[in-house]
Amino acid sequence: MYTLGIDIGSTTSKCVILKDGEYVYAKGLAVGGLGTQGPEIALNTIWNESGLTKSDIARTIVTGYGRNRFEGGDGEVSELTCHALGGRFVFEDLRTVIDIGGQDAKVITLSESGKMSNFVMNDKCAAGTGRFLDVMAGILCVDINDFEKYAEKSKSPASISSTCTVFAESEVISQLANGVEMPDLIAGICDSVATRVASLARRAGVRETVCMSGGVARNGAVRKAMEKELGVRIEFDPLAQYFGAIGAALYAHRQLTR
Amino acid sequence: MAEEVKKAPRPVDPNSAKYKLGKIAGDAYANAIEAKKAGKPVAWVSSNFPVEIPETLGLYTVYPENQAAGIAARGAGERMCNVAEADGYSNDICAYARISLAYAKLKECPEQDVAMPDVLLCCNNICNCMIKWYENLSQELGIPMIMLDIPFNPDYEPSRAIIDYVGAQFWDAVHKLEALFGIKWDDEKFKAVTEASCRSSRAWLEATAQAKYTPSPFNGFDLLNHMAVMVTARGKEEAGEAMETLLKEYKENHENGTSTFRAEEKYRVMFEGIACWPYLRATSRGLKDRGINMVTTIYADAFGFDYSSFDEMIAAYCSVPNAINLEKSRDKRIKLCKDNNVEGLLVHTNRSCKLWSGFMPEMSRQIGEACDIPVASFDGDQADPRNFSEAQYDTRVQGLMEIMESNKEA
Ligand code: SF4
């Protein structure tokens, strides 16, 4: 039995087909979230990759900010539940998920049995989210995927004291003008995101095993900064960005087999 | 194009609590406007100032917080905030204050016009922003301000010293008003007012306590509207009568298995904070569509001014939500959660109300732990519509619901 999970976020769309709720049969990701062609492109990717068609899918669950507006799903579930389910699918002892997405950051706690027990999310401010990193990458003209490489070379991370994205932007520009080295600047930016999100994590209560999900999870510099900040190991899996979609597909499977 | 046919609003039964409460709230505004025209004194009063004073002295009253809530609910919050901001008031200031200061300048706002004041009655038992707001009104309008200072109480109960301090100010305010307007305090009238206030409070407390039944005989959003009468008119005879009608209706609803919550009640939550007036419909729909009934709020307790002596009355004014310490605030809420079988807590992180929202993260954590319920919070504002995102609200409410759902399954 195939189930489909679609995660329509603010900046990307992800789709996952699970076979028998056991393994990832196909996955697709497209830039562009709610209100763009993103969901369609991601879906086309998985149809092409899997050779399956819509009629092969037993149930489709949609999650993410675009979940309410997407037509063609059999139901919708919040990304909170989906990240918890998806994370637990990959890490079986998972108790804490730190998800940094395009426009929000959330820390989800799971009970021993794997149920979501609570969550804490960022306030309306973009600091501590993927958007903050995107804006900084833009100013520095550095590909965000290279952040880790740069940060590794840092000897003394710059201090970015503004939490406001707009203020931080001018702070970074003036540090650049003052000759602060790129690696130190990038390490400082990653530290700033990590401290913001770590305080959310402390509020939620950190229990191991901890993992990161969402697009920013791929950024090793942020992950490492967060490990240092929280004093725990933070697991990472290349599927991290798909946890929401995996969770949705798993939810669909559970609904059918319960 | 076919003309849109607007449905006529359903007539409200004049014997219903809704009608009676709506009339009391509406009459208070209209009577003050008439009184002003007739040259009688009008006071603008902060919400937890002892109503016993203006009511006994026969002063007509307007409650600017209530007015601002009405303006915001009718969609004019941003327009009024912009007026205040253009005059230099920071948008970090409470939006009720900004709206009120804008009104003092414009002296009109069709969304909720009020009579202009001759005196300002200010009490800081809810916050200190109130003092500066009223001082500015006093300066701008050139009218006196009478201040009743009730400091934040770090202890669990108000001390003898605090009660004496506030009690003395109570009489000082009375004497000042007597001198200002040539009016006289009447002990008999005071007795009648206190009786009416206690009668309204008892009925309110009992009505809101009907949420102990599952399903609750009412939708908690009702309380946010009905509470206006508790704020502005609890010392009036007719308020007691209307509150008793409300209680009777809720009891009947319970007996008949009906409710003003027009959906199947699947989950019961406590709502924390002032309503998000500009998005009242969106916030209430986000709950109702998921079968979540907001069965209680701290308002259920906050306006229960039931006392049997002068000192107890003063103690009650020293014990309003924002004047008491975290432990007492928490315990009151834990009691409400337990009495009403609450399964989740939804916290409005209200950008306007720093004091209230400031101690909420820690307080809600403690409540969540003590009652073993999940807690979710969302950003918003009681009156400035620029601080709310419906998508964000929706995700958090849904997350809260999903935890409550899985708790039920477990
Ligand atoms: S800051 Fe809070 S307590 Fe003070 S007036 Fe505004 S809403 Fe009321």
Per-residue pLDDT at A172: 83
A233-247 pLDDT, tens per residue? 999 999 999 999 999
Together in a domain, A132 and A97: yes
Tell me: pLDDT of A92 over 60: yes
Together in a domain, A226 and A124: yes
Per-residue pLDDT at A126: 67
Together in a domain, A124 and A220: yes
Per-residue pLDDT at A77: 95
Tell me: pLDDT of A220 over 60: yes
Per-residue pLDDT at B89: 95
Together in a domain, A75 and A26: yes
Structural domain boundaries enclosing A48: 1-91+239-258
Predicted complex ipTM? 0.81
Partner-chain residue, chosen from B349, B379, B406, that has the shortest CB–CB distance to A115: B406
B276 contact A CB<8A:
no
Per-residue pLDDT at B240: 93
Together in a domain, A69 and A188: no
How many folded domains does chain A comprise?
Answer: 2
Together in a domain, A48 and A175: no
Across the interface, whether the CB atoms of A78 and B395 are under 8 A apart is answered yes
Each residue's pLDDT tens digit in chain B (410 positions)?
444 455 666 778 889 999 999 999 999 999 999 999 999 999 999 999 999 999 999 999 999 999 999 999 999 999 999 999 999 999 999 999 999 999 999 999 999 999 999 999 999 999 999 999 999 999 999 999 999 999 999 999 999 999 999 999 999 999 999 999 999 999 999 999 999 999 999 999 999 999 999 999 999 999 988 988 998 898 899 999 999 999 999 999 999 999 999 999 999 999 999 999 999 999 999 999 999 999 999 987 788 788 899 999 999 999 998 899 999 999 999 999 999 999 999 999 999 998 888 889 999 999 999 999 999 999 999 999 998 988 889 999 999 999 999 998 87
pLDDT top residue among A69 and A78: A78
Q: Given the structure tokens 């016009």, which residue do they identify?
A: B113
A to B CB pairs, distance under 8 Å? 46
Together in a domain, A34 and A68: yes
Together in a domain, A144 and A122: yes
Name the burial class of residue A44, with classes exposed (0-12), middle (13-18) and buried (19+) by CB atoms within 10 angstroms of its CB.
middle
Report whether B304 contacts B201 (CB < 8 A): yes
For B17-185, CATH number?
Answer: 3.40.50.11890
CA distances from A175 to A135, A136, A182 (A): 16, 12, 10
Together in a domain, A231 and A123: yes
Together in a domain, A174 and A119: yes
CA-nearest of B65, B33, B61, B43 to B146 is: B43
The mean pLDDT of A185-197, rounded to a whole number, is: 88
For residue B357, the distance in angstroms to the closest alpha carbon of chain A comes to 12
Together in a domain, A103 and A86: no
SS (H, E, C) chain A: CEEEEEEECCCEEEEEEEECCCEEEEEEEEECCCCCCHHHHHHHHHHHHHCCCHHHEEEEEEECCCCCCCCCCCEECCHHHHHHHHHHHHCCCCCEEEEECCCCEEEEEECCCCCEEEEEECCCCCCCCHHHHHHHHHHHCCCHHHHHHHHHCCCCCCCCCCCCHHHHHHHHHHHHHCCCCHHHHHHHHHHHHHHHHHHHHHHHCCCCCEEEECHHHHCHHHHHHHHHHHCCCEECCCCHHHHHHHHHHHHHHHHHHC
Partner-chain residue, chosen from B379, B391, B403, that has the shortest CB–CB distance to A117: B403
Taking the centre of ligand 1 as the mean of its atom positions, its distance from the CA of residue B45, in whole angstroms, is 13
Which one of B406, B407, B408, B409 would you mutate to disrupt binding with A, by most A Cβ within 10 Å of its Cβ?
B406
Q: Which long-range contacts (CB under 8 A, 24 or more apart) does B130-135 make?
A: B130/B46, B130/B97, B132/B97, B133/B93, B133/B94, B133/B97, B133/B100, B133/B101, B134/B44, B134/B46
Domain with residue A212: its CATH number is 3.30.420.40
Residues of chain B in contact with residue A81, where contact means CB-CB under 8 angstroms, are: 399, 402
Per-residue pLDDT at A144: 82
A120-169 pLDDT, tens per residue? 988 766 667 888 888 888 888 888 888 888 988 998 888 887 767 777 78
For residue B374, the distance in angstroms to the closest alpha carbon of chain A comes to 6
Report whether B222 contacts B211 (CB < 8 A): no
The proportion of chain A whose per-residue pLDDT surpasses 90, expressed as a percent, equals: 45
Per-residue pLDDT at B313: 95
Together in a domain, A84 and A18: yes
Provide the whole-model pTM. Answer: 0.89
